[in-house]
Structure 1
Amino acid sequence: MTLPTRDTDLAAALQTLRNLADAIHTALAQGADDPRGKKYVVADDFGALTFTTKKQPGGMTYAEANGRAPAHEVNRWSAQDAITLAEATGGRAVLWATLARQQLAGMESLISQLEQTAIAA
């Protein structure tokens, strides 16, 4: 069994971050304007929240927060639905593309820092 080294760990982390950054770029290019009006996500201080939704008798939909993911991978909502869910979860409603761009900027900064670390090593 070969144990991972600092260099292989760093290379793997960089590749994972690059893949995620590419996925965010693709999502932004494909869907910044959702024609159904579902352009908002719910986020808290730690990131965008994911929800499980279930139809209830009478046509109402029940949403339960169950984790976090990048903004382009979580449920998108109408503005009013996002505001209602944000109030219920202690989060905030935000345009998904705005949050995705913020996450992407942070990720690209981290990638740059890690690349500099790899060069210096």
Structure 2
Amino acid sequence: MTNTTATLIANFRTAAEEIEAHLATSACAVIASHNWIVIDDFGPLTFTVTPEGKKHRATCTGHGRAHRVNRFTREDAEHLARACNARPAFWADAAREEATTLRSHIATLKALSAA
């Protein structure tokens, strides 16, 4: 196994463990209505939210991890998703999927390194 592969596996493992720890400890820690995120083809989107009169403007600033990006009400996430050509997702479901994908990548890298 090369140093690059070992580093990548370690980084993926650290990220997956962080996600799983966050999922385990926060089941009741978040206001129930604000559990929705926005995801495009490349992953969860981050936003800067600024006040504008009696409303707020959300500006997409890039991508992040499902457990770290902005969370919205379902209706707000649906509205933002339409505007961003993306989809709304329940953050915990997206985080579980992200951790599963990372674990799959780890297994693939280990298998390729062993061959």
Fold shared per TM-score above 0.5: yes
Equivalence map 1:1-121=2 (5 Å): 7-33=2-28, 34-56=30-52, 58-120=53-115
If the length of structure 1 is used for normalisation, what is the TM-score?
0.87
> How large is the Cα RMSD of the aligned pairs?
1.4
Closer/same/farther in 2, CA of residues 74 and 18 from structure 1, 3 Å limit: same
Q: Secondary structure at the match of 1:72?
A: coil
Q: Which has the higher contact order (CA 8 A, sep 6+)?
A: 2
- Structure 2 stretches lacking a partner, 5+ long: none
C-alpha distance in structure 1 between counterparts of 2:35 and 2:15, whole Å: 20
If the length of structure 2 is used for normalisation, what is the TM-score?
0.91
State the structure with more CA Rg: 1
C-alpha distance in structure 2 between counterparts of 1:83 and 1:101, whole Å: 20
C-alpha distance in structure 2 between counterparts of 1:30 and 1:62, whole Å: 31
Equivalenced residues, count: 114
Identity %: 33
C-alpha distance in structure 1 between counterparts of 2:40 and 2:32, whole Å: 24
* Structure 1 residue ranges, 4+ long, deviating more than 6 angstroms after superposition: none
- Structure 1 stretches lacking a partner, 5+ long: 1-5
Question: More displaced, 110-119 or 70-79?
Answer: 110-119
C-alpha distance in structure 2 between counterparts of 1:85 and 1:39, whole Å: 14
